[in-house]
Amino acid sequence: MRTKVFYDLPETACYGCQACAQICPVSAISMVPDEEGFLFPQIDTDKCIECNLCEKTCPTQKSVSNPLFNAVPTNVDAAWEKDFDARLESTSGGAFYIFGKKWIEDGGVVYGADFDDKLQVCHCKAVTIEELQRQRGSKYVQSNLSGILKAVRTDLKAGIKVLFSGTPCQVAGLRAFLKKDYPNLICIDLVCHGVPSPLIFLEHLKYVENMSGKQIVDYKFRGKERSGWRAYIKYIFKDKTVEKRFLGNDFYAYSFYRSRFNRRSCFSCGFSHAKRVGDITLSDFWNAERYSKELRKQRKYGFNMIMCNTEKGRNLYNETISKFGRIELPLQIAVDGDVRLRHAEKAPLDRDSIFQEYHTHGYEWLVNNRGPKNSIASRLTPTWVKNLIYEIKSRI
């Protein structure tokens, strides 16, 4: 009986997309967290009928994971939502929300990442604009896709228009699971920095709650208000108080930008290039302001890189284009500005040791011994001042 999805690949190659578990016709595969908190497939050998569908569906295979769209566009857009107040609610330029809102207004549904009532990140279906609001903003932790691929297939077969947003490996997993394209499906993939451990994220929330003595009910990974983007992490507590931490002062954010807690497969990601698996690709547009005076003005509040990879993607963008401020730029500017459009990121030297230290000493020890070493002056400097300094430096 089969004991592994793959016999000739290391377990570390698994993306955790769950395509194998949800394609299994006898439900012989369950997703089980490892000691680092990442989900991996586990096969019940008593149920397995050795149909090999799991292996045939896995996007780690070259025959499955090859980009579906080999023709890359010549140009991309730096784009931002014209509605300023609405733009403040998004981590970057607001493109995902504009696309999702249009999709729902036209009778469709949107699948994307959201927090559940325990602040775990999972994919869910939005059928109203209010539900879509919950999917706005970056979630820097791996999202759980339990049951979602099956739900998408059910909606598609019922003729419902589906917009699915996720990391490239999640989009590839969905497409591999579906086995064919659907005219009523559009996929948006993200230029992904890597997915951190859900276990470590929950440990971080517990740590903040213990230190504050208050319950966290919401969390913003990159708070953006009048002070602009890239400013702070935002904790919203049950008593309606709010705590803001500058990115460099927050241990989880500090570690995220150093890829310390990323899934191992992120460091050999087969989707870190300009040939994409989504109909539309979205990301921050790093360094684009160097090429446009207007983008230097817009940078403070964020703008997206929008890459349309298919006719379906271009059609959706054209239907919503009046909602955007936009500047067209060569694709190469986006590629030059983001290493993940060229190749996978290398694992940091302390990636394995920091997990070992977590299991040995606990999360609080990591915060105290492996966090940013900020001066007293840095800790006391208001967030808006740090943001202003950041903006001045970026323009020099």
Number of residues assigned to the chain: 396
Instruction: Give yes or no: residues 92 and 202 share one domain.
Output: no
Instruction: Give yes or no: residues 250 and 383 share one domain.
Output: yes
Instruction: Give yes or no: residues 29 and 56 share one domain.
Output: yes
Let me know if residue 328 belongs to a domain.
yes
Let me know if residue 57 belongs to a domain.
yes
Q: Which residue has the higher pLDDT, 117 or 77?
A: 77
121: phi then psi, degrees, rounded to nearest 5: -90, 125
Question: Can you name the residues that pair with 326 across neighbouring β-strands?
Answer: 79
The residue among 45, 64, 83 that closes a domain is 64
Question: In the numeric block, which tokens belong to residue 244?
Answer: 């803001």
265, 12 Cβ separation under 8 angstroms: yes
Determine the Cα–Cα distance for residues 142 and 196; give it in Å rounded to an integer. 6
Instruction: Give yes or no: residues 251 and 274 share one domain.
Output: no
Instruction: Give yes or no: residues 124 and 154 share one domain.
Output: yes
At 67 the pLDDT is: 54
Let me know if residue 6 belongs to a domain.
no
Contacts of 213 (CB under 8 A, 6+ apart): none
Determine the Cα–Cα distance for residues 282 and 95; give it in Å rounded to an integer. 8
Mean pLDDT of the chain: 89
Q: What is the model's pTM?
A: 0.92
How many domains does the chain contain in total? Answer: 3
167, 146 Cβ separation under 8 angstroms: no
In this predicted structure, the answer to whether residue 239 has a pLDDT above a threshold of 90 is: yes
Instruction: Give yes or no: residues 337 and 373 share one domain.
Output: no
Q: What is the DSSP letter of 17?
A: -
Determine the Cα–Cα distance for residues 67 and 375; give it in Å rounded to an integer. 46
Instruction: For strands 109-115 and 242-246, give the pairing.
Output: unpaired
The Cβ of residue 251 has, within 10 Å, a number of other Cβ atoms equal to: 22
Q: Which residue has the higher pLDDT, 85 or 200?
A: 200
Instruction: For strands 109-115 and 185-190, give the pairing.
Output: unpaired
Q: What is the mean pLDDT of residues 341-353?
A: 95
Range of the domain at 79: 75-195+262-341
* Separation of CA 224 from chain center: 17
Instruction: Give yes or no: residues 175 and 281 share one domain.
Output: yes
Q: Maximum distance among all alpha carbons in the chain?
A: 64
Q: Which residue has the higher pLDDT, 271 or 65?
A: 271
In this predicted structure, the answer to whether residue 377 has a pLDDT above a threshold of 60 is: no
**174 by DSSP, 3-state: which?**
helix
Let me know if residue 319 belongs to a domain.
yes
Let me know if residue 70 belongs to a domain.
no
Instruction: Give yes or no: residues 58 and 81 share one domain.
Output: no
Burial class of residue 304 (count of CB atoms within 10 Å of its CB; 0-12, 13-18, 19+): buried
266, 345 Cβ separation under 8 angstroms: yes
Let me know if residue 365 belongs to a domain.
yes
301, 88 Cβ separation under 8 angstroms: yes
Instruction: Give yes or no: residues 190 and 203 share one domain.
Output: no
Q: What is the mean pLDDT of residues 179-199?
A: 95
Q: What is the mean pLDDT of residues 245-251?
A: 85
347: phi then psi, degrees, rounded to nearest 5: -70, 135
Instruction: Give yes or no: residues 80 and 135 share one domain.
Output: yes
Nearest 5°: the CA angle 313, 98, 116 is 105
Q: What is the mean pLDDT of residues 97-116?
A: 97
Q: What is the pLDDT of residues 37-52, one digit of tens each?
A: 999 999 999 999 999 9
Instruction: Give yes or no: residues 177 and 208 share one domain.
Output: no
